[in-house]
Copies of this chain bind each other. A is one copy, B any other.
Amino acid sequence: MTILDSALQCARNNQEAHLEELQRFLAIPSISTLTAHKPDVEHAARWLADQLKSMDIDNVEVMPTGGHPIVYGEWLRAEGKPVVLVYGHYDVQPADPLDEWETPPFEPTVRGDELYARGVADMKGQIFALLKAVGALHQQGPLPVNLKFLIEGEEEVGSPHLGEFIDAHREKLDCDAVLNCDAGILTPEQPSITYALRGLAYFELEVRGPSKDLHSGLFGGVVHNPAQALCELLAGMHDDQGRVTLPGFYDKVRDLGDEERAVLAQDPTTDQDWLQNTGAPALWGEAGYTATERVGARPTLDVNGLISGFTGEGSKTVLPAKALAKISMRLVADQNSADVHQQLLAYLRKNAPKTITWEVRELVHGDGAIMNRNAPAIRVAAEALEAVFGAAPVFKREGGSIPVVALLQQKLGVDTVMLGFSLPTSGIHGPNEKLHLPCFFRGIETYIRFLTGIAHHKP
């Protein structure tokens, strides 16, 4: 038996134990955006460090940052072999709306072929699968490839300290390729590889009118209702073609050429699939592009949250003093988030009436990235997927944002291969997030094949 075959066999023999251990990892509510969960985030970091140590990874450290810590570790004993930097994150999104979960978000539960828990698909399930792949290889002898681990705890808040961490540890992180496990495939039958990601610029917009909440009868009709004014400003941010109206928003957007449109057209996801995966009554978006193009290759603007006035049970006749929106833009190459911040301010300066005051607070920003589809690591990943899933992967651009990909490209000059196993139906960031267990187990095998495959390439 080759090392590959025996490692695959080993992974298959341990599926039940892996599922149990993953549930313990998922039970840690490592929500990075809520300060009350800081101890849980640290707990998750230590849990990962212990995993690495148990596989004889060297120099394992839980390294402090200005925010949540980074878990580092390395295996550099495969002489003459490439160095792969494994990237992942152990933090998760908040779990609300809590009352829409069928089982509690931090009590992982199997129903049918699915494992339900906050963070199971984004991305504790996948970083755990990668660790189990390394573990299966480790049981066969020395690892066949050099590895570095960079597992952060602030991805869900936009990786605010990752850039300075990479700057401070440039040599330590030096590598030939990055394996980023924070990714997905199209369906359990149709694997895919993401070669581009959107950037993110996330803001809070607060509109203020009267100095305090007023009685809507005694003052209604005298002052500009801040909730109404906020709605007017937000409504004006799209035109009737679904285009974003911030001045200059599309100026730097890289056009989709015919060749790339043809590649993206191989994605078998139809409008009917998009409709089914969202459950919306109809699709919507920028005119002139397919749904798949819009979500991967076009910038967008979404309202992520709205709050103003009285929102409890029953009625309260209040004219609110203020109204707040969380809004975010998804950016594509070659936009950058600092420009978009200025475009938002310019829009508000031009359109906000003098009857209210407003303030913008930037919460998160990160640039998008696009990779060479023919790089060796991407080809090895494609072969691994085809061997495990029995189908060649399609190439796609993803709508989500993973700031580290752009950071590593800009700071280390290294391209990333995105290889992960969530599905469009996994419900990440929403209630009842789930991971398809057959994909999870195939994921471990794919990682084993990737790590043995990349070892055959020259550094």
Contact = CB atoms under 8 A, between A and B. Distances in A.
Contact of A281 (B93, B228, B356): B356
Interface in A250-299: 274, 277-286, 291, 294-295, 298
Nearest to A93: B316
Given A218-B399, A304-B318, A399-B218, A278 B225 contact: no
Contact of A213 (B213, B223, B225, B430): B430
A216 B330 contact: yes
Contacts of A217: 198, 200, 330, 398-401
A130 interface: no
Contacts of A221: 285-286, 291, 294-295, 298, 300, 330, 399
Nearest to A307: B311
Given A220-B295, A280-B223, A282-B354, A315 B213 contact: no
Given A212-B430, A222-B294, A307-B307, 5 more contacts: A33-B313, A214-B278, A221-B399, A225-B302, A281-B354
Most chain B CB within a 10 A radius of its CB, from A200, A221, A303, A328: A221
Contacts of A209: 278, 280-281
Contacts of A309: 303-306, 326
Interface string A205-217: 0000111111111
Nearest to A198: B217
Given A231-B303, A309-B306, A223 B284 contact: yes
A218 B428 contact: yes
Contact of A303 (B94, B213, B227, B283): B227
A224 B198 CA distance: 19
A29 interface: no
A246 to B, nearest CB: 14
A432 B212 contact: yes
Interface stretch (A133-141, A171-179, A232-240): A232-240
A66 interface: no
A87 to B, nearest CB: 17
Contacts of A303: 225, 227-228, 231, 308-309, 320
25 contacts: A33-B312, A34-B312, A93-B316, A94-B316, A122-B215, A158-B315, A200-B217, A211-B278, A212-B432, A214-B429, A214-B430, A215-B430, A216-B302, A216-B330, A218-B400, A222-B283, A222-B285, A227-B234, A281-B355, A282-B355, A283-B355, A305-B310, A306-B311, A307-B311, A311-B326
A263 B42 CA distance: 70
A317 B400 CA distance: 9
Nearest to A427: B212
A228 to B, nearest CB: 5
A64 interface: no
Contacts of A302: 216, 220, 225, 228, 319
A429 to B, nearest CB: 4
Copies, count: 2
The 10 closest A-B CB pairs, nearest first, are A211-B279, A217-B400, A33-B314, A224-B284, A227-B303, A221-B300, A213-B430, A305-B309, A231-B231, A235-B235
A305 B308 contact: yes
Given A228-B234, A235-B228, A315-B157, A304 B280 contact: no
A261 to B, nearest CB: 16
A278 B326 contact: no
Contacts of A316: 33, 93-94, 304-305, 326, 429
A270 to B, nearest CB: 12
B315 A304 contact: yes
Contacts of A325: 227
A422 B279 CA distance: 51
A75 interface: no
A429 B294 contact: no
B304 A306 contact: no
B432 A295 contact: no
A61 B405 CA distance: 73
Most chain B CB within a 10 A radius of its CB, from A231, A277, A281, A283: A231
A106 interface: no
A166 interface: no
